[in-house]
Structure 1
Amino acid sequence: MNAEDLPLPDYDHLPVGSLQHRIRSLNAGELQQVIDYESEHNDRTHVMEILRHRMDELNNGATPSPGRQDDEPVETRGTSGDSSVSPGGSADPIHPPRHGAVAYPGQHGKRGRP
């Protein structure tokens, strides 16, 4: 089986976080295709747990949710790829004084000692 044959477009590149939501629209046969593919190719423990849990839900009477699988992943919407933070907005660097500096009270080196 190839990834192109799966009911989830671009399955191999879907973030795990969106996978849990996308499989909710699959029926038991479609979900079994995904389970078979995952076990043959990646066999990621966390993903297999998510898929098997959903299959258990379907076997216990859950119905697929309405929805489409041709939308782009939620994680990619509205991201330009560039950061809107400028270097001028960063905090000033911290330069602690050297060890034994007089700036700290009570640490005057050898001065003042008997």
Structure 2
Amino acid sequence: MTTDHGGLPLPDYDELPVGTLEHRIRSLGVPELDQLLHYEHEHADRAMVVQVLTARKRQLDAGAPLSGGNPAAAKPEKAAPGRGGSPVSPATSQEPMSPPPHGTPAQQGKPKGDRTG
């Protein structure tokens, strides 16, 4: 088994989201899964990835068939970068308002600091 990233059965393995990886390993056999597990333990050792690879190995050991297709032929997906920040600003936020008083829903509420009148 090699720990060289170029020798892995999935292109851009390190950049694949776990959900994509779960589908892409369906056409791999036990030797390829062992290779990915070895690489994963040597590098990132991500618990979810190890769990997905181990679960697929158990499925194959129990007689599950390999899926068709070439995992290397698919364009690898990458996790979307976080957007961060909020598009809301003081200019676009709603004006503060007080709820109407109890018992008269059609009457507009008054600001709490204005109790006269």
How high is the TM-score relative to the length of structure 1? 0.70
Give the one of 105, 110, 114 matched to 1:109.
Answer: 114
Change (3 A) 1:46 1:108: closer
Q: Distance in 2 between matches of 1:23 and 1:111?
A: 71
Change (3 A) 1:111 1:54: same
Q: Distance in 2 between matches of 1:9 and 1:24?
A: 15
Let me know the Cα RMSD of the aligned residues.
Answer: 2.7
Q: Distance in 2 between matches of 1:96 and 1:54?
A: 54
Change (3 A) 1:74 1:106: closer
Specify the code of the residue in structure 2 equivalent to 1:104.
G
- Map of 2:96 onto structure 1: 96
Query: Is contact 1:27-1:63 (8 Å) kept?
Result: no
The alpha carbon displacement at 1:18 in A equals 0.4
The alpha carbon displacement at 1:64 in A equals 1.3
Q: Distance in 1 between matches of 2:35 and 2:7?
A: 9
Percent identical pairs in the alignment equals: 41
Q: Distance in 1 between matches of 2:96 and 2:111?
A: 17
Specify the code of the residue in structure 2 equivalent to 1:73.
P
Specify the code of the residue in structure 2 equivalent to 1:72.
K
Higher helix proportion:
1
The number of equivalent residue pairs is 94
- Map of 1:41 onto structure 2: 43
- Where structure 1 has 5 or more consecutive residues not aligned to the other structure, the ranges are 77-86
1:33-78 CA distances to partner (integer Å, 9 max, x unpaired)?
00110111011111111100000011111121111122113569xx
